[in-house]
Amino acid sequence: MSQVSVRDDEVDIVIAAIEPDLTSFLEGWRAVFSRFHLIIIKDPDLKGELRIPGGFNYDAYTKADIQKIIGPSNAVTFSGYSCRYFGYLLSKKKYIISIDDDCIPAKDNEGIQVDAIAQHINNLSTPATPFFFNTLYDPFCKGADFVRGYPFSLRSGVSCALSCGLWLNLADLDAPTQALKPALRNTRYVDAVLTVPVRSMMPLSGINIAFDREVVGPALLPSFRLAKEGKIRWETVEDIWTGMCVKVVCDHLGYGVKTGLPYVWRKERGDAIESLKKEWEGVKLMEEVVPFFQSMRLTPAAKTAEDCVIEIAVAVKEQLGQIDPVFTRAADSMVEWVQLWKAVKIRT
């Protein structure tokens, strides 16, 4: 496979507005974001008007827009960080890039500001190699290639459907780890991209991601919500659940997932000790969730991401539903999400 050319008008940048004043965030990204269309979703629970500086091509959506478009819903919710999924739902572009509003551009080891959008696009537009690990990481990166012994029959790779970026300063740790090591900060900028091997699960972080909406969009869904879910990243696991869903879908449909570059710089936010009281439920549930997804195999009848999500939802209800009601709610929400995705696609 060769690199795919991506135009600026094929990309939407989706921003979940958890704070009302986006001025410093958008000014920090102006040099990178200004070429692209932005979809800004205001957290339905957020009070006050959004403050957005001029000079950006954007559409902003509020609670009223969400209610108007999706109507009454008992399962799918768009509060907190889950509001960004509403942007995924409305986008008409092939590619979506999503970066949290507590992040600013990072700098590489030479002190040069990282263009996270360009790197995500490069990850998605070059092949992934999930079926055999290349020890020089991504062979399609500048200065790299396939190592000796890598089968030539696998060197064409497969299309990359998901790009998972990383973070400097405040790494995406869970609340127990951050509470135990309050001074820990990630200062290591590793100049590398790698493909996550087929059948390997991973903890996706929604802080800094990009994906092919046309291929796997329906698999990025707001379905798994904790009873005490909060507004800080380490108080949620919705993106972790989503990541395992989309990884199973990519493995089944034959697409690749990359992780590594690009980095963003995360600002300080939240209290890990307080968050631990909310996230502990999710930490325990992961011990059930991970083995489930590791053993998940879809049938040949699942030809699209929508098909895959429905099959996963059925298995979630059957195999995990008796463990905790949160799994039954997640399964119902997954089915409703697919119905919403199809309905919005028909209307638009």
Buried b (16+ CB within 10 A) or exposed e, 136-166: ebbbbbeeeebeeebeeeeeebbbbbbbbbb
Contact partners, residue 283, CB within 8 Å, separation at least 6: 174, 175, 176
pLDDT band for 122, please (50, 70, 90 cuts): very high
Residue ranges per structural domain of the chain: 9-345
Q: pTM for the whole thing?
A: 0.95
> pLDDT at position 4, please?
82
Q: How many CB atoms lie within 10 A of CB 64?
A: 10
> pLDDT at position 11, please?
98
- Residue 298 to residue 296: CA distance in whole angstroms: 7
| pLDDT over 60 at 13, yes or no | yes
In 3D space, the residue among 93, 201, 212 whose CA is nearest the CA of residue 158 turns out to be 212
- Residue 5: half-sphere exposure toward Cβ, Cα within 13 Å: 1
Q: What is the pLDDT of residues 29-70, one digit of tens each?
A: 999 999 999 999 999 989 999 999 999 999 999 999 998 888
| pLDDT over 50 at 75, yes or no | no
In whole angstroms, how far apart are CA 256 and each of 115, 160, 221, 222, 314?
Answer: 22, 4, 19, 22, 24
| pLDDT over 60 at 74, yes or no | no
Q: What is the pLDDT of residues 280-334, one digit of tens each?
A: 677 888 999 999 999 999 999 999 999 999 999 999 999 999 999 999 999 999 9
> pLDDT at position 319, please?
97
Topology of the domain comprising 9-345: Spore Coat Polysaccharide Biosynthesis Protein SpsA; Chain A (3.90.550)
222 three-state secondary structure: coil
**How large is the average pLDDT for residues 125-152?**
95
**How large is the average pLDDT for residues 255-283?**
83
> pLDDT at position 272, please?
75
> pLDDT at position 282, please?
77
> pLDDT at position 230, please?
67
The tokens describing 66, both together, are 């969400």
What pairing do the DSSP bridges indicate for beta strands 160-169 and 103-105? unpaired
CB-neighbour burial class of residue 328 (10 A; exposed 0-12, middle 13-18, buried 19+): middle
Q: What is the pLDDT of residues 181-238, one digit of tens each?
A: 989 999 999 999 999 999 999 999 999 999 999 999 999 999 988 776 666 676 788 9
In whole angstroms, how far apart are CA 186 and each of 48, 173, 191, 263, 294?
Answer: 33, 10, 14, 11, 28
99 within 8 A of 207, measured Cβ to Cβ: yes
